[in-house]
Amino acid sequence: MRKRACKAGAVAAASLLAATGMAGCSDADASGSAGASTVTWSTWGTPDELAVFQQFNTEFESRHPDITIDFQPVSSYSDYQSKLSTQLTSHTAPDVFYVGDDNIAAMVDNDVLAPLNDRLSAADSAISSDDFSEDIYRVASRDGQIYGLPNDVNPDAFWYDKTALAAAGITEDPAELAREGKWTTGAFFDMVDKLKAAGLDGAAFWNYWSTTDSIMVSQGGTVYDDSGQYVADKDQTSVDALQKWADEFASGSLIVADELPSGSDSDTLFVTHKLGFLVQGRYTVSTVEGAGLSMDDYDVVGWPTPDGAEGSGGVASSFLAINKEAKDADAAYTFFEEFLSKDGQTLRLKDSGNALPSISGIDSIVTDSAKPANVAALISMRDKGFANFPTEAAVPDLSNSISTDIMLPLYQGTTSAQDALDATAQLVAEQVEK
């Protein structure tokens, strides 16, 4: 997994548990006495994130003395997903669990998740489907039935270093251009070319579905049609847009963050004022402040578009789902709804700069922080953005294969956009057929 997942994992399991004071609670040890029901749940996360989850667990148990929480964190995203898949096959999976946006659709198709519509529409439910963006949770639904909801979200935004831009002689502010309707693709390319001419790196992107699809969609193209068919290879706007951006990658004005060597990674370049733009999620706040820098020197803007109008880009997310075989379905849903509720997300996100809430009505916990100053752009990107397309997300590892085997050579200048999109269309058709 790329950075959006690595930010939430890549720490040894023992250190994770030690950092949060957890050892896999039993029925009796979490609240001092055995509850009438036990809900097991699992996720991946950094020590700080796991500490917040444990705080939620403790407060949940205090509200529900008849339910004991058995929390089962796993070391990293890749280890987590592998373990969860094994558990689902052996019918030993937790009652409630996180699922990445690259795996949720496949789990829906495999019929291992509990349907949620009836519970979400109940009068006493703390949440409803109307509280969440359908463009995000559609990847976790089939035929009108919802099987998971996003726990929080991270739109891929253009973070920029004001110091680096000034060093390249750039006097215009991207956020201000966006407010004036002048944040065009041409204006962005002019800036990255100036950064390159000044001996700096222009912009770094993570090579995954959101980057490639956002390039096409933000420029007015279509990737999948309403029936779920891959059509980017036949859509001239998509072909032309991808070729234009690929040319910038090939020239060196844009760089693939995944390919950077250790010690010169995108975070390091960004906080040492050697990189103009870094395209990723809100966790960039932690990157900047963790380096001892002020957010006043950095800001954020959405995807540039041909005419400067606000466009649409990819939104990375993870989902909370309920095991179809949960031992106590009612208790599992109680945990599920409270974790995703306004109060639950406020508890988890109010002091964090790592993500945006996925539920409507609590954006103030982000906007009040003014981190970054143009935080309204992130909110708008979330509301106008899209998740991975269900057709692609339903096939395990398909998105990663497209990025690694097809799009990386394109960005390296060894193939054309048309050939890359033709290859993608063929791969999607083959994998979906299987």
Establish if 231 belongs to a structural domain.
yes
Closest CA to 95 of 149, 135, 38, 41: 41
Assess whether 280 and 348 both reside in one domain: no
pLDDT tens digits, one per residue of 346-390: 998 887 668 999 999 999 999 988 899 999 999 999 999 999 998
Assess whether 176 and 307 both reside in one domain: yes
pLDDT at 397: 85
Assess whether 14 and 77 both reside in one domain: yes
Mean pLDDT (the chain, rounded): 90
What does the block give as tokens for 187?
């204006």
CB contact at 8 A, 317 and 136: yes
Assess whether 365 and 327 both reside in one domain: yes
pLDDT at 33: 44
Assess whether 259 and 364 both reside in one domain: no
8 pLDDT band (50/70/90 cuts)? Answer: very low
CB contact at 8 A, 354 and 287: no
pLDDT of 4 higher than 70 = no
Assess whether 16 and 131 both reside in one domain: yes
Assess whether 77 and 7 both reside in one domain: yes
pLDDT tens digits, one per residue of 282-336: 999 989 999 999 999 999 999 999 999 999 999 999 999 999 999 999 999 999 9
What does the block give as tokens for 261?
């060597």
pLDDT at 102: 84
Establish if 85 belongs to a structural domain.
yes
Q: For 94-119, what is the mean pLDDT? A: 94
pLDDT at 35: 54
pLDDT at 275: 98
Establish if 390 belongs to a structural domain.
no
Assess whether 167 and 271 both reside in one domain: yes
Establish if 11 belongs to a structural domain.
yes
Higher pLDDT, 13 or 264: 264
Assess whether 176 and 304 both reside in one domain: yes
pLDDT at 262: 87
Task: Please give the residue range of the domain that contains residue 115.
Answer: 3-153+317-384
Q: For 121-140, what is the mean pLDDT? A: 95
Assess whether 287 and 330 both reside in one domain: no
pLDDT at 433: 87
Count the neighbouring beta carbons within 10 Å of the beta carbon of residue 118: 9
Assess whether 370 and 406 both reside in one domain: no
Q: List the single range of 2-6, 49-53, 82-86, 394-398 with lowest mean pLDDT.
A: 2-6
Q: What is the CATH number of the domain that holds 143?
A: 3.40.190.10
Assess whether 91 and 222 both reside in one domain: no
Establish if 389 belongs to a structural domain.
no
Q: List the single range of 132-136, 209-213, 270-274, 348-352 with lowest mean pLDDT.
A: 348-352
Establish if 149 belongs to a structural domain.
yes
The domain tally of the chain equals 2
